[in-house]
Amino acid sequence: MGEPSFSGLSKSERVLGEFKPDSLYQTPVKPPKARKEYHEMKMFGDVREEEAYYGGLKAEAKDKKGDEIYNINISNAQTGIILETIEGVTSNFEWAGEALVYIAMDKETCRPYEVYLHNLRTKQASDKCLYHEEDDKFLLYVQASEDKKFLFVTSASKTTSFNYYLDVSKPEDGLKAVTLREKGIDTSVSHRENYFFILRRTNELFNSEVVACPVACPLDKTAETIVLSHRKSVKIQAIQLFENHLVVHERENGLPKVTIYGLLGVGEQVQSLQGGFTVPFGDDPTYSAVPLVSEFNSSILQICYSTLKTPPFVYEVDMKTDRVVRKESATMLRAFDASNYVIERKWATAQDGTQIPISIVYRKDRVELNGSAPLLLTGYGSYEDCFDPSFEPSWLCLLVRGFICAIAHVRGGGEMGRQWYENGKFLKKENTFTDFIACAEYLIENKYCSKEKLSINGVSAGGLLICGVLNMRPDLFKAAVAQVPFVDVLTTMLDPTIPITTLELEEWGDPREEVSYYNMKSYSPVDNVKAQNYPNTLVTTAYHDARVMCSEPAKFVAKLRDQKTDENLQLLICSFNGGHFLERDAELDQKALIYAFIMKSLNLIPNP
C-alpha cells in the first residue's frame, strides 16, 4: 500500500477510463512513464478502506468491523466487477506489475509477519511467500520506491529495521537484501537510477544520516557515499527522492524543516551534498508541514502546511527555481478569520530542568489571561510520534466559547529529535508524565487557566498519559478524557498471546525482567489507582479494538469507582461498531460528547 498519494490525477487519469478491455483482467499497454498509479485511504460507514489503482485494475482493502483485519478485493476499475479477493490480511499492499504484494498477519497476535506475491487469476492458497519474519518483536511492511521500479519490504522492531527490495519488472526473482539486520540500527530505502539512498540511524548517529550505495552491490559498505552527515541538533525524519532532486524532511528545535538539494545527472557519481534550499514557512511560532506524495519525474514539491489557527493549504515549490507558491485550499472554512486567533509557543520547565514546548491557541477577543479561561490540554508522548500543531476544526466550537487549547510536546514523542524519544521510554517513561504535569503547572502559574478550569484529553498511548497523571496529580485537573487508553500495562505486556504485545517490548520494557517489572508497575494506571479524589473522568473503548482490548479501560474505570473518595463522575463508553479508530461520523459524534462532558464538568453548561 505505502503512503497515500496526492498526485492530483483526475479519476479518469487514475484508472485510464477511456480504455475498453477485451477481458475483465486486461490492462492498457502503456510505457512505464505514462502508467498511472494511485493510492488512497478513506473511511465511511463502519468501513475502513485502502485502495490502489494500476492501469485498469483496482485493489481495495476493506475492514468492516474495525479490528484491522482486511480483505483485498481486486476489481475492474471501470465496471466495479470484483475479480478476486485476498482474505484475512493487513491493509498494506503494493502492485508489482500485474501481481500484488501484500502483508499477511499472524491470526492469533495480529502481527504482520509474512510477505506474499499474488499473481492474478490464481487462488490465494497458491500465493508465494517471499519472506517470513520469525522474530516476534518485528513486523513487516511494504512500500514502493518513488520511481515505482522497486518495492521495499522492511522488517522493523522499535529499535532495529532492515530492508529487502523486489524488482517490479521481475517479481518472480523474489526479495534481495539492501541492508542487514543489525541490532540498534534503523534503515529505510529509496531509489534513483543506479543507487539506493538509505536513511540510517544508529546509537551514535541518533538523528540519522543519508548514504547512497550502488544497486549492483548494496551490501558493500566500502562502496557507500555519505550524502548527508549526522547532526546532533537536526533530526533527519524522512527523505523524498525526485528525478533531479533530494528533499530532506528534518526537525530543528522541535519544528519541521524542509531542505531541497539538486542531484547530479543520471550516470554521474553520487556526491556528498552541501547547502541546499530551505523552504521558508513564515513567522508562525509553531506549525505543521506534511509532505505530499508527488510525481517522481516532476520538479514540483508539494507540502501541506497548517497551524492551530490556519486551515491547511499547500505550498508548491519549484525545485528548479526555488520559487514558492501558496495554494489556498478549495475547502476553506466560511466566515473563518484567522486574525481573530493567537498562537503561541511556550516552554515549561520539567523537574529535571528540561524545557518542554507547549503549543497554544485561543481567540483573542474571548480570552483574558487572568486565570479565568477554560483550557483543554492534550498530549501523546510515545513511539517517537510527533504531535505537530495542525488545524483542528473541532476545536473551533471550544475556542469561540472562550477556551484555550494547548498541546504538551512531552518526552517520548519525536518532536525534539531521537533523544527526546529515548528519554521518555523504558526506564525513563516517568518523564512523559512529569513533563505533562509541568506543562499543566506552567499554564496555571502563568494565568492561562486555573485548576478549576483545566481539562485534559489523550488518545491510545496519550490515554495512558492522561490516566497516569490522574493517579499522580488528580488535584491539578477538573475533567479528564481518555480515549481507547492503554492502561493495564503490566497485565498486557506479561501476556504474549494478546495482539501486538511482543511488538511493544522494546517500547515499554519486558516485565519478565525485574527492573522493568517494577518500573512499569510504578506508572501503569490500573496498578496505581488509590483512595483519593479524582476529577470527572470519561473513558472510551471499542469492542473490536485490536490494539487496546476493551477490558483494559473497563478495568480502570471499575477501579476508579471502587477507590475514589469523591462524588465526581467516572464514565465508560464502549462502541460495539468500531475498533481503535473510528469512521468520520462516529468520530464527530464522540467529539461532540467529549466536549459536552468537558463543558459540563467545568460548569459551563447550566443545569436544566
Active-site hit among 460, 516, 575, 601: 460
Overall average pLDDT of the 382-390 stretch: 96
Range scoring the smallest mean pLDDT among 135-144, 266-275, 467-476, 480-489: 266-275
Cβ-Cβ contacts under 8 Å for 20 (sequence gap 6 or more): none
| pLDDT surpasses 60 at 552 | yes
Count other C-beta atoms under 10 Å from residue 35's C-beta: 15
pLDDT at position 506, please? 93
Q: In 292-443, where do the E strands start and end?
A: 300-306, 313-318, 323-327, 341-349, 355-363, 375-379, 404-408
Mean per-residue pLDDT of the chain: 89
Q: Please indicate whether residue 245 is annotated as part of the active site.
A: no
Assess whether pLDDT exceeds 50 at residue 24. Answer: no
Q: What average pLDDT does range 321-330 have in this prediction?
A: 86
Q: What is the pLDDT of residue 54?
A: 77
Is the pLDDT at 190 greater than 50? The verdict is yes
Tell me the backbone φ, ψ of residue 418, rounded to 5 degrees. -60, -40
Pairing relationship of beta strands 479-483 and 375-379 according to DSSP bridges: unpaired
Q: Which distant-in-sequence residues (6+ apart) come within 8 Å of 215 by Cβ?
A: 191, 194, 195, 196
- What's the pLDDT band for 39 if we cut at 50, 70, 90? very low
Q: How many CB atoms neighbour CB 252 within 10 A?
A: 15
Secondary structure of 337-365 as H, E, C letters: CHHHEEEEEEEEECCCCCEEEEEEEEECC
Q: What is the pLDDT of residues 112-154, one digit of tens each?
A: 999 999 999 999 999 999 999 999 999 999 999 999 999 999 9
What is d(CA 432, CA 164) in angstroms, rounded to the nearest whole number? Answer: 35
Give CA–CA dist 426/507, Å, rounded. Answer: 6
Which pTM value belongs to this model? Answer: 0.89
Rounded to 5 degrees, φ, ψ at 518 are -75, -30
Residues 6+ apart with CB under 8 A from 498: 109, 492, 549
Task: Give SS3 for 27.
Answer: coil
Strand partners, 348: 356
Residue 580: per-residue pLDDT: 86
What is the reported pLDDT for 285? 97
Q: Which residues contact 196 (CB under 8 A, 6 or more apart)?
A: 165, 178, 189, 190, 212, 213, 214, 215, 218
- H and E: helices and strands count for the chain: 10, 32
Q: What pLDDT, on a 0 to 100 scale, did the predictor assign at position 606?
A: 75
Tell me: pLDDT of 25 over 70: no
**Contact by Cβ (8 Å): 487, 552:** yes
Q: Collect contacts of 126-133 with beta carbons under 8 A, ≥24 apart.
A: 127/86, 130/101, 130/166, 130/174, 130/175, 131/155, 131/164, 131/175
| Residue 498: pLDDT band with limits 50, 70, 90 | confident
Residue of 93, 71, 88, 141 whose CA lies nearest to 113: 141
pLDDT class for 331, splitting at 50, 70, 90? low
Q: Does the structure show a pLDDT above 50 at 1? A: no
Split at pLDDT 50, 70, 90, the class of 575 is confident
- Nearest 5°: phi and psi at 587? -65, -45
Q: What DSSP string runs through 146-157?
A: TTSSEEEEEEE-
pLDDT at 16 exceeding the cut of 80: no
Query: How many whole angstroms separate alpha carbon 368 and alpha carbon 92?
Result: 48
pLDDT at position 242 over 70: yes
Q: Give me the catalytic one of 147, 390, 580, 601.
A: 580
580 tagged catalytic? yes
Which residue among 359, 545, 575, 601 is the active-site one?
545
Mean pLDDT of 365-394: 96
Using DSSP, state whether 490 is helix, strand or coil: helix
Which 8-state DSSP code applies to residue 592? H
Q: What pLDDT is stored for residue 362 in this prediction?
A: 98
pLDDT per residue over 441-460, tens digit each?
999 999 999 999 999 999 99
- Which range (61-70, 322-331, 430-439, 497-506) has the least confidence? 322-331
Q: Give DSSP secondary structure letters for 71-89.
A: EEEEEETTT--EEEEEEEE
Q: How far is it, in rounded angstroms, from Cα 237 to Cα 250?
A: 5
Q: Above 90 in pLDDT, residue 20?
A: no
Percent with pLDDT over 70 in the chain = 91
Q: What is the pLDDT of residues 304-318, one digit of tens each?
A: 999 999 999 999 999
Residues 6 or more apart in contact with residue 274 via CB below 8 angstroms: none
365 is catalytic: no
Q: Is the confidence at residue 364, as pLDDT, over 50?
A: yes
Residues 6+ apart with CB under 8 A from 404: 360, 361, 362, 367, 373, 374, 375, 376, 443, 448, 449
The pLDDT score that the predictor gives to residue 108 is: 87
- The pLDDT tens digits for 250-300 are 999 999 999 999 998 887 889 999 989 999 998 999 999 999 988 999 999
Question: What is the per-residue pLDDT for 49?
Answer: 58
With bands split at pLDDT 50, 70 and 90, how would you rate the model's confidence at 332? low
What is the 8-class DSSP label of residue 65? S
CA distance to 71, 206, 231, 315, 501, per residue, from 234 (Å): 41, 10, 5, 22, 32
